Structure 1
Amino acid sequence: FLGLSLINGVPIGVKLSNGILKHLLGQEKDLDWTDLEHFDEKMFHTFQGWMDNTSKRGFQMHQTYGLHFVIYDDVSKSEVLLCEHGDQIELTNQNKERYVRLYTKHRLTLNVISQLQSLQKGFWSLFPRSIVHKSLSADHLRQALAGSDDIDIEEWQKHVDYDDCSANDNVIQWFWTYVKSLDKEGLKHLLLFWSGTCSLPLYGFSKSKYSTHKHEQWSIDISKQNQHDPTSLPEASTCDYSLHIPNYSSYDILKSKFDVILQFGYFGYTRS
Structure 2
Amino acid sequence: SLQFILAKPPFPDELGIGNFVCTKKDPAGKETVVELKENGKEIPISDSNKHEFCDLFFRAQFVKNTQDQTASLTEGFLSLLPKETVGVLDADELELLICGNAVIDIEDWKANTCYGEPFNANHPVIQAFWYLVKQMSNADREKFLQFCTGSKKVPAEGFKGLRAANNKVSKFKVNPRVSGNDSLGYIMAHTCFNTIELPMYSNFGTMKKNLYEVLKSPENF
Same fold (TM over 0.5): yes
Q: Runs ≥4 in structure 1, deviation > 6 angstroms?
A: 67-82, 91-94
- For residues 221 and 175 of structure 1, what CA distance do their matches in structure 2 show? 12
Bigger relative CO (Cα 8 Å, ≥ 6 apart): 1
1:89 equivalent to 2:42? Answer no
**Shift of residue 238, structure 1, vs aligned partner:** 1.3
Backbone CA RMSD of aligned residues: 3.9
The partner residue of 1:194 within 126, 136, 148 is 148
Q: Percent identity?
A: 25
**Shift of residue 257, structure 1, vs aligned partner:** 0.7
Question: Residue in 2 aligned with 1:231?
Answer: 184
1:1-272 correspondence to structure 2 within 5 Å: 61-63=7-9, 83-84=36-37, 85=40, 88-90=44-46, 95=51, 99=54, 103=58, 106-107=61-62, 109-125=63-79, 127-129=81-83, 131-132=84-85, 134-164=87-117, 165-207=119-161, 213-223=167-177, 225=178, 227-264=180-217, 266-269=218-221
Q: 1:132 to 1:91 in 2, by over 3 A?
A: farther
Structure 1 gaps, min length 5: 1-46, 48-59
Greater Rg over alpha carbons, structure: 2
- For residues 92 and 61 of structure 1, what CA distance do their matches in structure 2 show? 13
Cα deviations by residue, 1:157-178 (Å, 9 ceiling, x for unpaired) = 2211122111222221221121
Q: Secondary structure at the match of 1:259?
A: helix
**Shift of residue 154, structure 1, vs aligned partner:** 1.9
**Shift of residue 222, structure 1, vs aligned partner:** 2.1
Normalization by structure 1: what TM-score? Answer: 0.58
- For residues 46 and 204 of structure 2, what CA distance do their matches in structure 1 show? 68
**Shift of residue 248, structure 1, vs aligned partner:** 1.1
Letter in structure 1 aligned against 2:101: S
**Shift of residue 197, structure 1, vs aligned partner:** 0.9
- For residues 219 and 136 of structure 1, what CA distance do their matches in structure 2 show? 33
- For residues 185 and 200 of structure 1, what CA distance do their matches in structure 2 show? 13
Aligned length: 202
Structure 2 gaps, min length 5: 11-16
- 8 Å CA contact 2:100, 2:156 repeated in 1: yes
Moved more, 132-141 or 68-77: 68-77
- For residues 151 and 163 of structure 1, what CA distance do their matches in structure 2 show? 23
Moved more, 71-80 or 163-172: 71-80
Cα deviations by residue, 1:28-70 (Å, 9 ceiling, x for unpaired) = xxxxxxxxxxxxxxxxxxx9xxxxxxxxxxxx83229xx9888
Q: Secondary structure at the match of 2:160?
A: coil
Normalization by structure 2: what TM-score? Answer: 0.70
- For residues 101 and 237 of structure 1, what CA distance do their matches in structure 2 show? 54
Q: 1:253 to 1:133 in 2, by over 3 A?
A: closer
